[in-house]
Amino acid sequence: MATTILAPPKKQTRRMLLRSLSTFGILLVLACLGVALWIYSLGHSELPQVDGSIRMDELSGQVSVLRDKLGVPHIRASSYEDLFFAQGFVTAQDRLWQMDISRRYAAGTLAEILGPNLVKHDRLQRYLQIRAACEEAVDKLDPRQRHLLEMYSRGVNAFIQQSRKHLPLEFKILGYSPSLWRIEDSLLIGANMDQMLNTQYDLELKRERVARHLNAQEIADLYPTTSWRDLPPAQQANPSIEDERPPGENNPDSEQDEKDEQPSPAKTSSFTSAFDRTCEMCVPGSNNWVVSGVHTASGKPLLSNDMHIEHSIPDIWSPGDSQTLDPMCRICSWSNSILRERLQRRKAGKHQRRPMR
């Protein structure tokens, strides 16, 4: 017996396929939107409170924190203690993750949270005993300085304790909670910066290793510490000195040398090659500029400084403006611990400026 199978029309099959694809596409878009909203809400829920009032039992008076359009905090307090406490609290609001990573980097505890690839780095940092040096430095601090750093640490810890359930997203991703801040942690940040700017210590260690096997004359031959520039000025007038000058070295006092030192493509390419990222020994450079008050609108000199460091996100510097009312004091901080300060006191109706140490 013959069997006849009726096939559905082609148009109906195409319509069903388009409907299925449309349904799948809509579900996929909704799923992506749901994930995006979840990530946004998760990140947004961990943002610190920057509006309204927060009660702190550690404060002796009222403290106001006003953030400008760039997010820079302007702190006003009635005492040094409250000022440093608020500075620690506000800095932790903005940079707690960076603060924790920075102290771990210096102390050699990154592998605890980032895995075994950082063991080599941690071992080197522990060889250098940076944390031990900072702990020793804390014991030698002036009592007043130590007290203010303690207030700063209390401010950081107040934020940590308040935010245990709402820590920044990085802590949740790695599944750990930061330990409380200590005075030596603030010093670790400074030591971290010092190590970052010191690119010669490893070469000095290698030199010490070589020097153990050489006598004084051999060391002097291998590591010369003098040049023709070290000769007294009177001797530089002697023409015979020209023969002792290394090839390619010019006398900075010679007008002819200045003409010879005009930039050329060869010299320029040689100079720019120093910034090639494939050069392991090359580091970014910087400079300082001072402009006399004769050339400024205010009549005051201007100092511009470039800190020998590359750009990063977030930037290593965290600007802040803090001021006490009694005594009159204003501090401009530029890091996640107060490293550079400017103190302004009001005495007998006059302003006196001096650096705070």
Beta bridge partners of 334: 319
Run of H or E residues at 329: strand 329-334
Give Cβ neighbours of residue 207 (< 8 Å, ≥ 6 apart). 223
Give Cβ neighbours of residue 157 (< 8 Å, ≥ 6 apart). 88, 180, 181
Within-domain flag for 242:
no
Q: Give residue 345's pLDDT.
A: 32
Map tokens 């401009």 to a residue. Answer: 332
CA atoms of 72 and 321, how far apart (whole Å): 8
Within-domain flag for 327:
yes
β-bridge pairing 73-77 and 319-324? parallel
What is the DSSP annotation of 281-313?
T------EEEE-GGGSSSSS-EEEE--S----S
CB-CB contact of 241 with 231 (8 Å) = yes
3-class SS of residue 167? coil
Q: How many residues does the chain have?
A: 357
By CB atoms closer than 10 A (0-12, 13-18, 19+), residue 190 is middle
Within-domain flag for 110:
yes
In degrees, to the nearest 5, what angle opens at C-alpha 164 toward C-alphas 161 and 168? 115
Beta bridge partners of 351: 346
Q: What is the pTM of this model?
A: 0.64
Which CATH number covers residue 338? Answer: 1.10.439.10
Backbone region of residue 302 per phi and psi (left: phi > 0; alpha: psi in -120 to 50; beta: other values): beta
Give Cβ neighbours of residue 317 (< 8 Å, ≥ 6 apart). 307, 334, 335
Per the structure, the count of domains in the chain is 1
Q: Give the phi and the psi of residue 323 in degrees, each rounded to 5.
A: -145, 135
CA atoms of 74 and 66, how far apart (whole Å): 5
Within-domain flag for 302:
no
Report the half-sphere exposure of 283 (CA within 13 A, side-chain side).
Answer: 10
| pLDDT single digits (tens) 242-268 | 444 555 555 544 544 444 445 555 544
CB-CB contact of 113 with 104 (8 Å) = yes
Within-domain flag for 180:
yes
By CB atoms closer than 10 A (0-12, 13-18, 19+), residue 255 is exposed
Within-domain flag for 94:
yes
Within-domain flag for 226:
no
Largest CA-CA distance found in the chain, in angstroms, rounded? 125
Note down the domain range covering 126: 71-201+322-354
CA atoms of 298 and 12, how far apart (whole Å): 81
Instruction: Locate 325 and state its tokens.
Output: 């009312």
Q: What is the pLDDT along the chain (357 residues), one digit of tens a residue?
A: 556 555 556 667 777 778 788 888 888 888 888 878 777 666 666 677 777 788 888 888 889 999 988 888 999 998 889 999 999 999 999 999 999 999 999 999 999 999 999 999 999 999 989 999 999 999 999 999 999 999 999 999 999 999 888 888 889 889 999 999 999 999 999 898 888 877 777 788 888 888 889 888 888 888 877 665 555 554 444 444 444 455 555 554 454 444 444 555 554 444 444 444 445 555 555 667 889 999 999 999 988 876 667 667 777 788 888 888 766 666 665 554 433 333 333 333 332 323 332
Within-domain flag for 172:
yes
Q: Give residue 9's pLDDT.
A: 60
